[in-house]
Structure 1
Amino acid sequence: MRLLSRREWRNPWTVLAASSAAAASVVVLSACGSSNGGTSGPPLSPSTTTTAGSASTPAGNSVSASGAGTSSGPAVVETNPPGDIPDNQAFVLYRGSGFTVTVPEGWARSSSGSAAVFSDKYNNITVSSAPSPQAPTIATARAIDVPRIEASSQGFTSGAISTVQRKAGTTVLITYHAYSAVNPVTGKVASEAVERYTFWRAGTAVTLTLAAPVGSDNVDPWRKVTDSFAWTK
């Protein structure tokens, strides 16, 4: 305890004022120290959620299955993968055996058997040709093609079968949903909407299979691709 000086005994109000100021400083410092909960980082934004032991995940990007890439469960299915092809996408000419078709410029090209595959993320175009003595019909598509597609697909859901007109002529269109191949980087798959067009001429059938994540708006680019198909012999 500090002894009061002669001057302080004469004017005790100076002591009281000094004590009050010190107490106020302590209160202010305490409030500042507790305003951020003792951490230096900013609070989580409302658009993210966090679970113990995991990184922050954007709200709305949940998955519907677990066990991606393992033998203990199915691959994770992405709920909102990107799929829309940009409006300014450029196209280049692909020359097949007896036909041509335009495909998006810059997409990766690979092979699947005798078919050429052009892909970008979960979007892909598969072009294949094979001898076919008869022109395809809705009946043959339903009896032969759809069972083959279902047997070779995961997550298959059948859609409509119809004939549509394109610049190269009438083509048989089969629509369905199926899972994409597993993405080698993320280990995930996408549920895709698939359009399968078969063109036929003089014993040759050419099939264009266009796939994009369900919900993608690719009506215009898919029409551009299928309208570009042309026979060269």
Structure 2
Amino acid sequence: MPSRLLAVLATGAALALAACGAASTPKARSTSTPTPAPTEVSPAGDIPDNQAYVTFHAPGAPYSVKVPEGWSQTERGSVVTFTDKLNSIELAWGNAPSAAPAGAKTSTVKRTGGSAERATFEQQSEPDAVTGKTRTNAVERYVFTRGSEHAVLTLKGPKGADNVDPWRVVTDSLRWTA
């Protein structure tokens, strides 16, 4: 019985195939379906290119700077930190800035607000409050000096995130106040 069933099925399949091929006029049809463009996937911590910025001036600070709109703000003395998800911007003034950590790459850069000493290095993040995990942050610290005044901008984001343009907006926006 099983061999008879197989023979019937094979005969039925052969007839079905023959019927499909017996069409009088073959019709041209597309066998491919349009594929949508791949969705761009940004690495964790990428700040969107369409991020809006607002000018911030802390009381007592000798400068103003643009920061991303909507980021949370905390203040501790002469240090103001803006954070959103995995990124942060720390603004400091007053005391002479601390030296760059060992292994940091340093250079002098020109920005709209003047020359700055830039240090780039990596640093472990604080442990996540929920998971306890840490990540490696890419850090850029800019020290602007005018006479005896210092403006220190420290920008942090996950290693591998493409934040070149947003960090440039922030560092180019520094303006010394009177």
Which TM-score applies when normalising by structure 2?
Answer: 0.70
Measure the CA separation in 1 of the matches of 2:81 and 2:66. 13
The answer as to whether partners of 1:81 and 1:190 remain within 8 angstroms in 2 is no
Match for residue 107 of structure 1?
71
**Structure number with larger C-alpha Rg:** 1
User: Quick one: percent identity of the two aligned structures?
Assistant: 44
Letter in 2 for 1:124: S
2:145 counterpart of 1:200: yes
Match for residue 120 of structure 1?
84
The answer as to whether partners of 1:122 and 1:190 remain within 8 angstroms in 2 is no
Structure 2 runs not aligned, ≥5 long: 1-41
1:86 counterpart (32, 48, 73) = 48
Structure 1 runs not aligned, ≥5 long: 1-79, 137-143, 151-157
Question: Aligned-pair RMSD on alpha carbons?
Answer: 2.3
Measure the CA separation in 1 of the matches of 2:135 and 2:85. 10
Aligned residues: 138
After superposition, the C-alpha distances for 1:59-94 in whole angstroms (9 at most, x for unaligned) are: xxxxxxxxxxxxxxxxxxxxx971100111111111
Letter in 2 for 1:167: T
Q: Secondary structure at the match of 1:87?
A: coil
Structure 1 consecutive aligned stretches of length 4 or more whose deviation exceeds 3 Å: none
2:134 counterpart of 1:226: no
Measure the CA separation in 2 of the matches of 1:131 and 1:187. 33
Match for residue 99 of structure 2?
145
Please state how far the C-alpha of 1:101 moved relative to its aligned partner. 0.2
Structure (1/2) with the larger helix percentage: 1
Letter in 1 for 2:45: G
Measure the CA separation in 2 of the matches of 1:197 and 1:178. 16
Q: Secondary structure at the match of 1:145?
A: coil
Match for residue 162 of structure 2?
217
